[in-house]
Amino acid sequence: MKEWCLNEGGGGRRYILGGGFGEPEYMFVDKDAQSPWDRKPNFGFRCVKMPSPPPAAAAKLEPAFRDYGKEKPVSDEVFRAYKGLYAYDKGELNARVEETLSAPDWTREKVSFNAAYGGERVIAYLYLPKNASPPYQTIVYFPGSSAIFQDKFNEAQSFMWDFVPKSGRALMYPVYKSTYERRDGLPGDTPEPTASGAITRSLGRRTSDGRSTILNREKTSTAGKLGYFGFSWGSAIAPILLAVDDRVRVAILGVGGLEFQKTLPEVDQINFVTAYEDARAPAERPLRFLLSGGVVAGSSLQASRDEREGQAPGHLRVRPHGSSKDLIRESLDWLDKYLGPVKR
């Protein structure tokens, strides 16, 4: 059970922490505040005898908040410097297939290739559709932060993305640094506001994993037919990954937003998300599709200046949170429109 705490979280709510049964793994470390009158099956408490009364100042913890309508991104010159932090040496990938499994709708290959750092190998799961012929349109997937807390890639969660290979497209699912078999003790998905360069290095490694994956599939995909599907954590990282690599033309962002937590400017989403809207943008900027209605705690649906002004540009579509069937249907319509229909 998650446990009630003394601390007030604003709006009359109280913090209840630690995660409970039936919740995603990341709730073990995420902040959560609920009405103190709620009584759900996984709400619990712990009895504690305090040696002395706690200080009053420690009782209330205001949740982080940022007004993105008032914040401004860095200048183009500073942005280019930040972008340079994500550069990496494009050496030989030396990709190889480790194993192949067959399922009714796809063939799954477990592949590995050289990482851009530390002599490591990146693991990726490649799903090749059985109802289409190569070269395939390819979608690179970035999962939610549950991947940080699981020891092994879990194919049982394929319901989140299996509509992609079922539609006749290939899906590439990298095991990013700090996730699944490559866990390294990353405590959570929100960059902490610290001066340590470890944050940039850690995020840079996951970004380079994504970019190396894109390069790996670029050689065998239909020219210009690369897409990105980020869910939750993958949506939060998308502004940075897509701003520093312009080979992806279509992006689907599910259940995401901008973090309220302040962090270092070189990993701050606001300094990257506007790269699509101004002079920094490549000639053919990625098409973004934000699927969520802003249901993620601690983040904002205010994903761009145009969105804040209520005018979504032609390359951005925002829709309210709906059923999984709605997500699948509209995602496939989006891919058909901007990558083109699949030839079966």
pLDDT at res. 169 = 95
Q: How far is CA 230 from the centre of its chain?
A: 5
pLDDT at res. 200 = 57
State the maximum Cα–Cα separation within the chain, in Å, rounded to a whole number: 71
Q: Give the global pTM.
A: 0.81
Per-residue pLDDT of the chain (344 residues; tens, 9 = 90+): 999 988 888 788 999 999 999 888 888 888 899 999 999 999 998 888 889 887 665 677 877 788 888 888 888 889 889 888 888 887 888 889 999 999 999 999 999 999 888 888 999 999 999 999 888 999 999 998 888 888 999 887 788 899 999 999 999 999 998 888 988 887 776 665 554 455 556 677 777 777 776 665 555 555 558 899 998 888 888 888 888 887 787 888 887 777 888 888 888 888 887 655 554 445 455 556 655 544 344 444 444 433 433 344 455 666 665 667 878 888 898 899 888 899 87
What are the residues facing 123 on neighbouring strands? Answer: 112, 175
What are the residues facing 252 on neighbouring strands? Answer: 229, 289
Count H helices, E strands: the chain?
7, 15
Residues in the chain: 344
Q: Which residue intervals of 129-244 are DSSP H helices?
A: 163-166, 198-218, 233-244
Burial 152-176 (b: 16+ CB within 10 A, else e): ebeeeebebbbbbbbbbbbbbbbbb
pLDDT at res. 98 = 93
Report how far residue 262's alpha carbon sits from residue 260's, in angstroms, rounded to the nearest whole number.
6
pLDDT at res. 97 = 92
Torsion, Cα 318 324 328 329, to 10 degrees, reads: -80
Residue 41: CB atoms within 10 A of its CB come to: 9
What are the residues facing 97 on neighbouring strands? Answer: 111
Residue 306: CB atoms within 10 A of its CB come to: 16
- Options 3.40.50.720, 3.40.50.2000, 3.40.50.1820, 3.90.580.10; CATH for 76-338 is 3.40.50.1820
Task: Tell the burial category of 43 from Cβ atoms under 10 Å away from its Cβ (0-12, 13-18, 19+).
Answer: middle
Q: Which residue pairs, CB below 8 angstroms and at least 24 apart, start in 23-31?
A: 24/144, 24/145, 24/146, 25/146, 25/148, 25/149, 25/150, 26/144, 26/145, 26/146, 26/148, 26/149, 26/188, 26/189, 27/2, 28/149, 29/187, 29/188, 30/188, 30/297, 30/298, 31/63, 31/297, 31/298
| Residue 337 dihedral angles phi and psi, to the nearest 5° | -70, -40
Give the torsion sign (CA, 105, 109, 110, 116): negative
Evaluate whether 4 touches 14 at the Cβ level (below 8 Å): yes
For the chain, the domains span: 2-58, 76-338
